[in-house]
Structure 1
Amino acid sequence: MKHLPPSIQTRRLILRPFGPSDAPAIAAALNDPQMSRGLLMVPFPYLQADAEWFIAEGAQDALAVCLKDGPLVGAMGLGNTLGYWIAKEHWGMGYATEAAKPLLTQHFSSFDTPVKSSYIDDNHGSARVLEKLGFEIVGNTLLQIKSRNAEIAGKSVVLTKQRWEQLT
């Protein structure tokens, strides 16, 4: 993420850098086949050691998504693409959309470059999140899903600065 802020607050959430104490919550959320089935780089099973590695080595472009009262509910990153996950028990509550909006606002206030993302075809929740944010489908793709060791059919989507400004 370009110019990662120390934290961002929304109405219900705090987005902040990951810390070592987040490893148990990350491992608990991602060690679920329903969670890992649509995430590109997440292995299954997902162990505490995987979460510790992610925090130490892989989380530079990501923020922890936490409820204001504390619990970690997911992750959100905006590097070359928008990527995220929300723990299964928090699906359908609008947290991914709420967390993405300030990151996209920050991106488009500094850059004109479009933001890309993708989702597997049967991940209707992610499709809806990206649609609500204004992303538009630009093509079909095959996504290499580590937990399945397979290429899975999906959609490539893009959000332009012009479209974002029209929607906000």
Structure 2
Amino acid sequence: MNNNRTDRTLETDRLLLRLFKPADAEEVRDYCNNYNIYRSTLTLPYPYPLECAVSWMANHEQNFDLDKMYEFAITDRNTGKLYGAVGISNHQPYHNGEIAYWIGEAHWGQGYGTEAARAVIEFVFTEKNYHRVYARHFASNPASGKIMQKCGMSYEGTLKDHIYKNNSYEDLVYYGILNPVKENPET
């Protein structure tokens, strides 16, 4: 993986993770204005108007520069096609952060979420010196949990009926991973 701090991008075999650009707003709206994405995310509104995309992207660059949060557009490395988003918070006092992602429904099942999440986890472990990364998903969205498992995360617990959404309660399932270098400093 190539980490280029100057232009704030990460590269994988198939993907280029980059900051969102204003030109991405309409495509973000189109992907996120999808009930299937809404029902599997914690805070995404539905319907999802263009103004939501614009306001969501407004502080990405500043948050990155201030080391508060790192949010990337998941794009095809060769064509630039937008597939989704991946982001991770930076809880500096605790040396950890929560990773989250979404992929446009047309691109589900192709491994983009896993590839992007792995790249971001590697980035924060190597470049930002995180000790731990964690994630959570609704029990009704096991595909998100599969991404976490493929990234080496371990199941840590379930908060039963923790979220009330769409007139029903949802279990929230937690996963986490420790920085292997920090976990075994002698190796």
Q: Do both share a fold (TM > 0.5)?
A: yes
Amino acid of the residue matched to residue 16 of structure 2?
A: I
For residues 75-154 of structure 1, the aligned pairs below 5 Å read 75-79=85-89, 80-109=97-126, 110-141=128-159, 142=161, 144=163, 148=166, 151-154=169-172
**Deviation of the 1:143 alpha carbon:** 5.1
Distance in 1 (alpha carbons) for counterparts of 2:150 and 2:183: 14
Aligned length: 163
Q: Does 1:7 align with 2:9?
A: yes
**Deviation of the 1:163 alpha carbon:** 9.1
3-state SS of 2:58 partner: helix
Name the TM-score, length of structure 2 as normaliser.
Answer: 0.78
Match of 1:23 among 12, 25, 30: 25
Match of 1:72 among 77, 82, 88: 82
Distance in 1 (alpha carbons) for counterparts of 2:167 and 2:6: 32
> Where in structure 1 do 4 or more consecutive aligned residues deviate above 6 Å?
163-166
Q: Name the one with the larger strand percent.
A: 2
Q: Give the unaligned 5+ runs of structure 2.
A: 64-69, 90-96
Checking the alignment, whether the CA contact within 8 Å between 2:163 and 2:171 is kept in structure 1 is: no
| Aligned CA distance change for structure 1 residues 129 and 57 (closer, same or farther; 3 Å) | same
Checking the alignment, whether the CA contact within 8 Å between 1:40 and 1:143 is kept in structure 2 is: no
Identity of aligned residues (%): 27
3-state SS of 1:116 partner: strand
Checking the alignment, whether the CA contact within 8 Å between 1:134 and 1:164 is kept in structure 2 is: no
Higher relative contact order (CA 8 A, sep 6+): 1
Q: Deviations over 1:89-112 (max 9, x none)?
A: 100000011112221112122425
**Deviation of the 1:137 alpha carbon:** 1.2
**Deviation of the 1:62 alpha carbon:** 0.7
**Deviation of the 1:162 alpha carbon:** 2.8
